[in-house]
Amino acid sequence: RGSFCSLDYADGGAGEAFVGSRVTIDQLGFDKGDLAPTPKRDALKQARCPNCNGNLELKAPDAVKRVACPYCGALLDASNGELAFLQLLEKPPYEPILPLGSEGTLQKTKWTVLAFLIRSTNVEGTRYPWEEYLLWNQQAGFRWLMNSNGHWTFLTPIAAGDVGLAFRKATWNGKGFKAYQSVYAVTDYVAGECYWQVSVGESARASEYVEPPESINSDETEREVTFTHGVLLTADEVKQGFNLKGPM
């Protein structure tokens, strides 16, 4: 019912329980000007890649933890407010449909493309890839836009406690969703800014429950499970929203 509890234990001391509820930026009443990053994080806006010296112009310096340089493919750590080289990634197999840093409007909100990922699964020896675009709005937060063989899905993060799971079924917001597929998804390529400590080769169990045109999706790693609510979009909606030219 929208509530959560955390249990905190100090070394050798008694535990404390904290009960709260999830709120939005609007509910907190912050002015947009209050959401500026700290001075140290703000300096990342004009950061340069320590590997190739390319100008990165980060869009969300207050939230970024990993940056994949689009010029040389270096994966950089930004968790301490400065960029540190981690590893050199392979060059992208092709250019993303939505360029990094581009802006577009979906669901009546203006979004900036922060990151581009290629993920895939292997079924009986056959590789099936898809694309994921990380979108960001300063007040609305993060969203995902997934492209699988020309089929686009707009994904909104939802609280794990709001999702009910049963045998081959998920429930959310009073709706039932049937199990569609569950695969191990591997991150093959990444470019741009990510709010988590992404690495190429990382794997997660990805499950999808559908009630067209909606879906509930989960990504499960050893540390956490995250859920998103998906809504199908047409290619024309994406094309118009991001003012794209030519075929998609």
pLDDT in tens, the chain (248 residues): 667 888 888 777 788 999 998 777 778 887 766 766 666 666 777 789 999 999 888 888 888 899 999 888 899 998 888 899 999 988 777 889 999 999 999 999 999 999 999 999 999 899 999 999 999 998 889 999 999 999 999 999 998 888 999 999 999 999 999 999 999 999 999 999 999 988 899 999 999 999 999 999 999 998 889 999 999 999 999 999 999 987 77
| Contact present, 4 and 22 (Cβ < 8 Å) | yes
The rounded distance, in Å, linking the Cα atoms of 132 and 146 is 4
Give the chain's length: 248
194 beta partners: 66
Amino acid (one-letter) located at 147? N
Compute CA distances 2 → 87, 136, 162, whole Å: 40, 24, 7
Separation of alpha carbons 55 and 67, rounded Å: 12
Distance between CA atoms of 12 and 217, rounded to whole angstroms? 40
Instruction: Identify the burial level of 94 via C-beta atoms within 10 angstroms of its C-beta, where 0-12 means exposed, 13-18 middle and 19 or more buried.
Output: exposed
Residue 211 half-sphere exposure toward CB, CA atoms < 13 A: 13
Which of 155, 130, 140 has its CA nearest to residue 32?
Answer: 140
Q: Is the dihedral of CA 231, 104, 199, 82 positive or negative?
A: negative
User: Whole-angstrom Cα distance, residue 208 to residue 155?
Assistant: 12
Question: Using omega within 30 degrees of 0 as the cis cutoff, is the peptide bond preceding 213 cis?
Answer: yes
Least Cα distance to 185 among 135, 118, 134 occurs for: 118
